[in-house]
A and B are shown apart, each in its own frame.
Chain A
Amino acid sequence: DAKTTQPNSMESNEEEPVHLPCNHSTISGTDYIHWYRQLPSQGPEYVIHGLTSNVNNRMASLAIAEDRKSSTLILHRATLRDAAVYYCIPDSSYKLIFGSGTRLLVRP
C-alpha cells in the first residue's frame, strides 16, 4: 500500500483559495488518488479522485503531478463549511487506508 504524507493542519481565510498538498511517492501506476473529507461529528465523504489528469468537480479541483508522486486538492473559495479533516488516499483495490489527514481551519 502506498504511503502518504500530508501536513497536520492548515489555515485559510474564508472565500480564499486553499491548496492542500499530499505526497504519495510510492504510488503504483494503477492507483487512483482519492480525496475524502470528514466534517466534525460526521462520517467521511468523497471529494474527488483522479488517475493522471487534473480533475474538476463542483466541490474541488485535483492537480496531479506529472510523475504522480504528489497531488494537490484545491478548494477555490473556502467557506466555513469546508472546515474538516482532508484525507488523501491512493487506492488500487477495495481498501481505503486513511492516514492522519490535514485538518483545515477556515477563519471568518
Chain B
Amino acid sequence: DAGVIQSPRHEVTEMGQEVTLRCKPISGHNSLFWYRQTMMRGLELLIYFNNNVPIDDSGMPEDRFSAKMPNASFSTLKIQPSEPRDSAVYFCASRGLAGDTQYFGPGTRLTVL
C-alpha cells in the first residue's frame, strides 16, 4: 500500500492567491482528517470526514478555509485568499475503523509570502 498521498509536497505562493492541497487516503479507509502544524500552535485538527461527510469542522480557522471530500479516495483543502499566517505544514491522515490507528501523509509545506 502506498500510504496516504499528499500533493504538492511544497507550495510557495503570494498573499491573496488561492491554494489547494490534495490528499488521497489509504484505500478502504472511511475516515479522513486534515491537520495543520506550526511552531506556535503545534499540531491542530482542522476537519474530520467520515464516509465523505464532514463531521467536525470546528478547527477550521475561518471562512477562508474550506475542505471537500467528493469521494472516498480524494479530498482537498482550499485556502482563498491565502495569508502569510497560513504558512504551516498541512497533514492529511486516514483511518479505517473507529478507534483504529490514524495514518498520516508526508505533509504539504505551505509558504505564503
Q: Which of A43, A94, A98 makes the CB contact (< 8 A) with B48?
A: A94
A44 touches B43 (CB 8 A): yes
- Measured as residues with beta carbon below 8 angstroms from the partner, the interface class of chain A is 10 to 19
Measured between C-beta atoms, what is the minimum distance from A44 to chain B in Å?
5
- Measured as residues with beta carbon below 8 angstroms from the partner, the interface class of chain B is 20 to 34
Question: Is B2 on the interface with A (CB-CB < 8 A)?
Answer: no
Residues of A within 8 A of B95 (CB): 94
B107 touches A43 (CB 8 A): yes
Instruction: Look across to chain A and name the residue whose beta carbon is closest to the beta carbon of B50.
Output: A94
A99 touches B55 (CB 8 A): no
Measured between C-beta atoms, what is the minimum distance from B10 to chain A in Å?
11
- What separation, in Å, do the CA atoms of A32 and B102 have in the docked complex? 14
Residues of B within 8 A of A (CB): 4, 31, 33, 42-45, 48, 50, 55-56, 91, 93, 95, 98-99, 101-107
Residues of A within 8 A of B (CB): 32, 42-46, 49, 87, 91, 94-100
A-B contact list, 26 entries, CB within 8 Å: A42-B106, A42-B107, A43-B4, A43-B91, A43-B93, A44-B43, A44-B91, A44-B102, A45-B104, A46-B102, A46-B103, A49-B101, A87-B43, A94-B31, A94-B50, A94-B55, A94-B56, A94-B95, A95-B48, A95-B56, A96-B45, A96-B102, A98-B43, A98-B44, A99-B42, A100-B42
